[in-house]
Amino acid sequence: MIKLYKIDIGTVKQNPIPIPMPKEDGISYICRKNFPCLILQAVCNHRLLFTHCYAGEEGSIHDATVRRRSEVWEYMTMDKETKFPRDTHIIGDKAYPCTPQLLTPYKDNGHLTVNQKRFNYRLSKCIGPQNTL
């Protein structure tokens, strides 16, 4: 994992897991990439070991809803001083909001500075669930 800050705890990522089309309510399993799936959200530490998995939401569920329903979001928003000691962070992709504990890329609206582009590039090179899943 590239060190962007003093210490990083790990990374979080959501991935669609393809499944056969369910006979009941199949349309709710169609994701934005147009195939039936379940959503898996995973957290990996700096050694690429899974530390948390949350799975089972239908593919049509918005990323923000999956995030809010998962235990990871509650973990990251409760008792921050104990869970994120010594300036530690989790790294996420653009599906997550940037918080003091969760570092995400700058939104690219065509007006990013050189430093913001560099930050996004370095963040994209961090090892995590996207390379493990």
Banded model confidence at residue 71, pLDDT cuts 50, 70, 90: confident
The whole-model pTM stands at: 0.75
* Residue 70 per-residue DSSP state: S
> Per this entry, what is the length of the chain?
133
Give the tens place of pLDDT for each residue, 108-118.
Answer: 999 999 999 99
**Residue 69 reports pLDDT greater than 60:** yes
pLDDT in the model for residue 60: 95
pLDDT in the model for residue 34: 95
Q: Which two tokens stand for residue 16?
A: 């669609």
* Residue 92 per-residue DSSP state: -
pLDDT in the model for residue 93: 82
pLDDT in the model for residue 4: 46
Q: Do residues 49 and 32 touch, judged by C-beta distance below 8 A?
A: no
pLDDT in the model for residue 74: 80
Residue scoring higher pLDDT (49 or 85):
49
Give the tens place of pLDDT for each residue, 116-127.
Answer: 999 998 888 775
